[in-house]
Structures are given as structure tokens and as C-alpha cells.
Structure 1
Amino acid sequence: MKGRVIVLDHIAGREAAALLVDGKLTDLLVDDDSAPRPGAIFRAVCDRPIKGMGGMMLRLPDGETAFLRQGKGLALGQSMLVQVTGYADDGKAVPVTDRVLFKSRYAIVTPGKPGINISRAIRDDDVRDRLLACAHEAGVAEGFGLIIRSSAAEAADEDIIEDIAAMDALATAIMADADGAPEALTEGDGPHVLAWRDWVEPAKVVTDAGGFEDMDVLGQMVSLGQPRVGLDGPAFMYVEPTRALVAVDVNTGGDTSPASTLKANLAACRALPRALRLRGLGGQVVIDMAPMSKAHRREIEGALRSAFKTDTVDTALVGWTPLGHYELQRKRERLPLPAEVMEALA
């Protein structure tokens, strides 16, 4: 099937969303209730400072703990609002920030940061003026700021104004509820809402039960349980998570031509964002490229920058190690596919 298709379904009793581009599984979101979702907002209580790191451990409801990186000026026992920024490693505290945002399809409301900003991706002056007029017409509470997202460029004025009003109302209610015992105030967006919020390019939307099977999403998900990822020609790579990091090993396969290693490495650069995204892998990523000349490193770096530029998960390209590996640091916005889901695919 040509074009973009968004499939909203359930797998192993979990809400899930898939994005297909020309029939190929490009992105996948599967709910996991084992940890707070990124974007969830909590009322937390300052528990103890981490002096060596300058942070603060916070108490969340149900005995959970969170870590706030900037703890300066906070007092023990103080209540505050925090937002989950990602998933924690096993046994570690939930990472949070005190810079709470309210994000929707067209707008982001920013309490404590007043001002109206239009996405820099929107360059047409007439469109920017139209969106600015929508922002002023909708308005936000005093002390709040507003960011108009790039997805608003093609949206109707009434939809943008409605979206701003909804986020402003939610932000006003939440920000007024900062005092008290630890409590979950919002649970964060699930896969179906995230798909609506972030997969904004025109697409056919399939919501029928069994859509994953009908659109061959399940068939394409089966390979996600295996570390091997096929590349162009005989080349392949292994993407294997360990406790400390994600190891990526690039191989040329049966290709013994002089350019085989460079071709395999460039193919791995192009395929890596999708491989990590579909498997829900983040944190430190170490790539063991196929053996090649140092003269090709600049070309590899350019290929990685190009590949991750359009990726939806924040990824920092750190650079080469003395042993010739390439390192990435990827935000933990997702969890690996749950065991129940992989068992359902077997």
C-alpha cells in the first residue's frame, strides 16, 4: 500500500499505534503500565538532596521516587509540580523536570515562560501572521507562554484556537494544584493520543479491531524480537541491548568488494534510527562499524546526522572513541517491547 497509514489497535491487551509508510512499519508505540509515562505530571515532595550531583530526590505516590537534576533552592518537605521526562533504568528513580509543559497537536502551553512563539519550521510570513492572530484570539492565562507547533501551519483556525484553549484550561487547573501530598495529576498520553499528537502528516487512519493483523503490522513486528537487522545487499547489523548500553555491530556479509565496508556502514547509519525506534531502545548506543579507513569517518558522521535529523526521539551524536567505535546518547522516551507482546507474536 502506498502512502502513510496510521493503525490504532490493541495487542496483548495493550493500546498500540503503528505508522506505515508505503507498507513498511516506520514507527510503533505500545503502552506499558510498568512505569509512569513520559509527560505525566505529579505533585511531588522533596525528600533528600543529592549533594554530589546538585539534584534532589522526590517522593511520588505509591512509594515511588523521582530524581530532579536541579535541586538548588528547594527545601525538604516542599511540595512541587514535576513532569516525567523519560523512563528510568531498572532500579533507578524516575527522571523528572520542574519545567512543566502542556503539549497538544498544535500548541504547547509553557507556564512560567510568558510570550508567544511560532515554530521556526514555519517560514511563510502570511502563515506566521495567521497563527499569531489565532494565538492572540485564544489567549492564555497570565504568566503562561505559548508555542505554536509546525503542525498548525495547515490546520484550520478554529481547530488551533480550540487546541490552545484546551491546553490553557488544563495548565490553569494543574498549576493551581501544587500544594499537598504526592499525587498523580495527569497520566501522560497513551499511544493513540501520541499518534494523533505527533504523527501529523496526512495519512489514512485505520481504527478497526484487528487492524494490526489486516495491515501486516504483526508480521513486521515479529522480526523486532531478533537482534539481526538486514541492510542493503548481503550486509547486516546486530542491535543488542545490554544492561549498560545498546551495542550495534555492522557486518558486510558475503560482500568482499573494496567498497563493501563503506556501503555497509552507510546503510547501517540509514537503518539505525528505525531499528532503535521500533525496539524502544535508548540510553548509550555504541556502534562497532565494519572496518574502514579513517578518511571515511566524516562521510559516516554526515550520514548519521542526516538519518537522525528526522527521528522523533532526541539523539545526541557524541563521536568516535579511541577504539574506533561511534557513540550516541539517546533519550529514553520509550521502553523495549513488553514480553507479553513478544509472546503474543511468537
Structure 2
Amino acid sequence: MSEEILVNVTPRETRVAVVENGMLQELHIERGWRRGVVGNIYKGKVQRVMPGMQAAFVDVGLDRAAFLHANDVVRAVPATNGDEVEVPPAPVAATPIVELLRDGQDIVVQVVKDPIGSKGARLTTQISIPSRYMVLLPQSKVIGVSARIEDEAERLRLKTLVGELAATHGGHGYIVRTNAEGQTQEALAEDIAYLSRVWALVEQRSREAAMGACIYEDLTLPLRAVRDLMRRDVEKVKVDSRETCDRLQAFAAKYMPVLAERIEHYAGERPIFDLYGVEDEIGRALEKEVPLKSGGYLVIDQTEAMTTIDVNTGSFLGQRNLEETVYRTNLEAAQSVARQLRLRNLGGIIIIDFIDMDDPEHRRQVLRTLEKALSRDHAKTTVYEFSPLGLVEMTRKRTIESLERQLSESCHECGGRGTVKTAETVTYEIFREITRAVRQFEAARLLVIASPKVVARITEEESPAVAELEEFLGKSIRFQADEQYLQEQFDVVLL
């Protein structure tokens, strides 16, 4: 499988695209005025303890107070970027939040989830600091290994090595990341030494910093991309900024010298995202419908509570019978769903409505295809069996806003509903408002200002109704079209 990472840098925005076999799989965006805060460590102050919620709101200097649950005060945090770790499950917090925190208390916390929508950031007191091959857990003694490293001998080697190295650097806990597979003792020792220096600096700043100060900030997007996404199967990292390319090469030379030569500057005249068709893919990723090669299609609806994905056969008729057609469409849809989840960065609860299949083996194969396609996802996913209604329920870890929420805003016409009232509906609302206004206030005549489409309908199709209304009220009514008015907006002016 051919994989490349493309880095597009402009003065106020940086974008990183992961392209596999010529197809865009992931897109990461960082804007200068709004960098994500996941991974940042702050010195905060407890604003309010909420015993009924077993949680507290903490001021960390962001726009909104952040949320800290009792479980996150006492329970360790899993590795970032989808590295699953085999560690003993932590018990659910039994200690009341009022015994853990008090109003006005200073506290060092880390952001585990960006502010999303109207919700503030999610916090934890269990600090974790990632590097190329490790995640440092300074308040733990556990040595865990990513579940994605499957070779038992390699798992044992890494766990033994890291355990020995950790003992000489404060005895902290570590998670061994997927990138560490096959690495030498020297490379791992360098990583642990780096993390020890970072933690010493965090401890010093936590003592000296003022409330609301950021005492540790994660790397910028291009550096994070090289640290987290660059693996042995990545052929090239192409960067369209010479300055950023130099910075990435220096970073790679220090932390991953074997891969440093794969980072190169793109100096072509054509924009790098245009060359690879990424811009077109971004546009398609904001559409609700996703066409399948077979002629079927997906319909993706993102709501506050969950994301639903509906699979349809469309124009695909198949070669044999209906069951075979449905099966083939669902297999293709399973792969497309996995790609769309990564590309659109959809998280939380996801419900997939595959086309109904009678054959249990077909259902198993579709589920297996979905799980296999999700195996390359950096975010942690959990897929459940088909429900009695034929739906597949799954979850995908969400730490930042989806691509749609990052690039789009609610429609100014419909206010995010996805629909607007018809011109006919608005027309009858205007008639009712005219009647209400005449009964309340004295006026010789009335002026109605509305959108051109609504005024056109009133003056053409509804002109007999307007004449009847004028006769009934004994008033003259004039209509004026205004391009600035949205379809649902209108004003009734008494003259």
C-alpha cells in the first residue's frame, strides 16, 4: 500500500493530508487563530464543584470553563492516537467529588477533548505526554504496550527494555506506541530521556506559573503529523513550504533519522493539494451523499447526539439476484464508511443502516470488512454486532470537531435546520400578520417588505387573495421586494 503525507502551509492555516493509493484518507487542519488545545497542560482553578454530577468546572484560561469528572481525577488516561494498551482496568471512582476537589483550589490538568459546540473542554488530572515511541504517564508505574504490536516476542522485548530504562529515569509509567516496533534500545532510551526532561520542565512551571497559564503545549500540526503519522510504510512527506520542510527534517533527523530522508520540499507551481486532487475530495467530504462505484450511495447525517449513515443500492442492479446485489453493495459501503469516518473525523455514537440481508454469513462478512477497514484508523473504534433492527452500532473516539464543523457553519437562512419554509407558507404568515397588525394599530395603508421570491408569489399567484384581504380590511396593501431579506423574513409596516 502506497502512503504519502502532504503538508500545505499558508500564513494563517496549515493542512496535513494522508493519501493512500492516491485517495485522501485523513485531513488535519490547524488555523493560527484557533489551534486545538488537546494535550495542553494548564494550571487551573476549580470554579465550582458539582456533587450531583460528580464533576467540577475548572477555569484554565479558555473562553469557557472546562469540565473535569471525578473519574478523570482518579483514573488513568489511555494512549493518544488510538494506541490501545493492555493495562488492568481502573475501578470507577467511588470517592465523592467533594472529597477530591474544593472551590477555588489550584489544580494542574490536561485537556483530553477540545471544546466542541457549546461544550467546554474535557480535562483530566492524569497527565500523559507523548513522544515518538512512548507516552509518559508520570503518575503511574504501569508499562503498557500498544495492542497493535501483535508479535508476542516483540511485545515482551519492548516491555522488558522500557521497564529497565524507566527504572533509571524516575520509575514513571510508559505506554509503548505502535511506532516503537523494531526500534533499538538506543532509540527508546533517547525517547525516555527526552520525556524526562519535558516532565521536569512541566513540574517547574506548575510551581511557578500563574493560574490559567499553559505550562505545556503540544507540537504544531506539521511536527505532530511527523511524530504520530510517519511510519515505515509512509513513502514520502511532501511539504510546500521550505521553512517548514527544514524544521521537519531537523526534527526527524533528531528523533527518527531512518525516515528523515523521506521528507522533501515540494516546489511545483501547481498547488500540492490540487495536484493530488485533495481540494476536490474536501469539497465532496462536506456533502451528505457519498456515491459508491457500484452505483449505490451513502447518506451521512451528523447531529448533536450521533451520526447516522444510510446505505442505498441506487442504480446498482447486480448480475445475479437481489440478495447478491445487496451483499455486494454493503461490502463496498463498509469500506467507504470506514474511509468517510476518518476523512470527516466523525466521532461519538455512529449508527450504520446497511441494506437488509437475510443470510447470516453475509452479515458476518460485511461486519468483518468494516472492522478490517477500520483497523488503519488512528482513532479508537468499537464495532458491535447487527442489532435486531439490522443496524450496526459503533463508537469512534472524538477529541476535536468534525471536518464539517471545522469548515462550515449553520446556514444563515435556515439556522441549521436544513430546511426553510416554503414561499407559500411565508405568504400565509404575512396575511395573518397583516390582519393582526390592522386589529392592533390604526393605519391608512400597509407596506410589506419580503424576499423577491415571496413577493413574486404574492403578486402573481396570490393576487386575488390580496384583493379580498384589502376589501375585508378596508386598507391598501403594497408589496416591496428586498434582496437582503431571507425567504422566511418579512416586515409589515403601517403607514
TM-score range for the pair, normalised by the shorter chain length: 0.7 to 0.9
Q: Say which is worse superposed, 226-235 or 8-17, in terms of deviation.
A: 8-17
Deviation at 1:187, TM superposition (A): 3.1
Equivalent residue for 1:160, pick from 188, 204, 207:
188
Equivalent residue for 1:260, pick from 325, 334, 346:
325
**1:274-316 Cα distance to aligned partner (Å, 9 max, x none):** 1021112212222222233373544443333333233111223
Q: Map 1:228-267; keep pairs closer than 5 Å.
A: 228-256=289-317, 257-258=321-322, 259-267=324-332
The CA distance in 2 between the partners of 1:261 and 1:124, in whole Å, is 40
**Aligned in 2, Cα 1:57/1:318: closer, same or farther, shift over 3 Å?**
farther
Amino acid at match of 2:132: R
The question of whether the paired residues in 2 share the 8 Å contact of 1:12 and 1:340 is answered with no
The CA distance in 2 between the partners of 1:341 and 1:190, in whole Å, is 19
**1:248-298 Cα distance to aligned partner (Å, 9 max, x none):** 111111123412222222222222121021112212222222233373544
* Alignment partner, residue 5 of structure 1: 4
Q: Does the alignment pair 1:151 with 2:179?
A: yes
The CA distance in 1 between the partners of 2:164 and 2:389, in whole Å, is 55
Deviation at 1:247, TM superposition (A): 2.0
Deviation at 1:227, TM superposition (A): 2.0
Q: Say which is worse superposed, 133-142 or 155-164, in terms of deviation.
A: 133-142
**1:196-229 Cα distance to aligned partner (Å, 9 max, x none):** 1222322211113443233332233232122222
The DSSP-based 3-state class of the residue aligned with 1:52 is helix
Q: Does the alignment pair 1:93 with 2:145?
A: no
Equivalent residue for 2:347, pick from 276, 282, 306:
282
Q: Map 1:35-184; keep pairs closer than 5 Å.
A: 36-70=36-70, 72=97, 73-119=100-146, 121=149, 123=151, 125=153, 128-129=156-157, 132-133=160-161, 136-137=164-165, 141-142=169-170, 144-178=172-206, 180-184=210-214
The CA distance in 1 between the partners of 2:381 and 2:406, in whole Å, is 28
The CA distance in 1 between the partners of 2:303 and 2:172, in whole Å, is 42
Q: Say which one has the larger Rg.
A: 2
Gaps of 5+ in 2: 74-96, 242-270, 410-495
The CA distance in 2 between the partners of 1:247 and 1:130, in whole Å, is 40
Equivalent residue for 1:207, pick from 221, 239, 254:
239
The CA distance in 1 between the partners of 2:408 and 2:272, in whole Å, is 18
Amino acid at match of 1:310: R
The CA distance in 2 between the partners of 1:64 and 1:160, in whole Å, is 39
Deviation at 1:335, TM superposition (A): 2.1
The question of whether the paired residues in 1 share the 8 Å contact of 2:154 and 2:181 is answered with no
Amino acid at match of 1:332: R
Q: Which has the higher contact order (CA 8 A, sep 6+)?
A: 1
**1:175-194 Cα distance to aligned partner (Å, 9 max, x none):** 34445512222333433122
The CA distance in 2 between the partners of 1:12 and 1:250, in whole Å, is 40
Deviation at 1:53, TM superposition (A): 2.8
Percent of pairs with identical residues: 25
The CA distance in 1 between the partners of 2:8 and 2:168, in whole Å, is 35
The question of whether the paired residues in 1 share the 8 Å contact of 2:113 and 2:398 is answered with yes
Equivalent residue for 1:191, pick from 221, 234, 251:
221
**Aligned in 2, Cα 1:187/1:262: closer, same or farther, shift over 3 Å?**
same
Deviation at 1:140, TM superposition (A): 5.9
**Aligned in 2, Cα 1:207/1:44: closer, same or farther, shift over 3 Å?**
same
Q: Say which is worse superposed, 246-255 or 74-83, in terms of deviation.
A: 74-83
The question of whether the paired residues in 1 share the 8 Å contact of 2:116 and 2:401 is answered with no
The question of whether the paired residues in 1 share the 8 Å contact of 2:169 and 2:193 is answered with no
The question of whether the paired residues in 2 share the 8 Å contact of 1:284 and 1:329 is answered with yes
The CA distance in 2 between the partners of 1:5 and 1:147, in whole Å, is 26
Amino acid at match of 1:74: L
The CA distance in 1 between the partners of 2:302 and 2:11, in whole Å, is 23
The structure richer in strand per residue is 1
Gaps of 5+ in 1: none
The CA distance in 2 between the partners of 1:338 and 1:126, in whole Å, is 40
TM-score under structure 2 length normalisation: 0.62
Amino acid at match of 2:181: A
The question of whether the paired residues in 2 share the 8 Å contact of 1:86 and 1:331 is answered with no
Aligned-residue Cα RMSD (Å) equals 3.0
The structure richer in helix per residue is 2
The CA distance in 2 between the partners of 1:25 and 1:302, in whole Å, is 23
Deviation at 1:134, TM superposition (A): 6.6
The CA distance in 1 between the partners of 2:155 and 2:55, in whole Å, is 42
Q: Does the alignment pair 1:312 with 2:378?
A: yes
Deviation at 1:58, TM superposition (A): 1.2
The CA distance in 2 between the partners of 1:272 and 1:126, in whole Å, is 33
Deviation at 1:115, TM superposition (A): 4.4
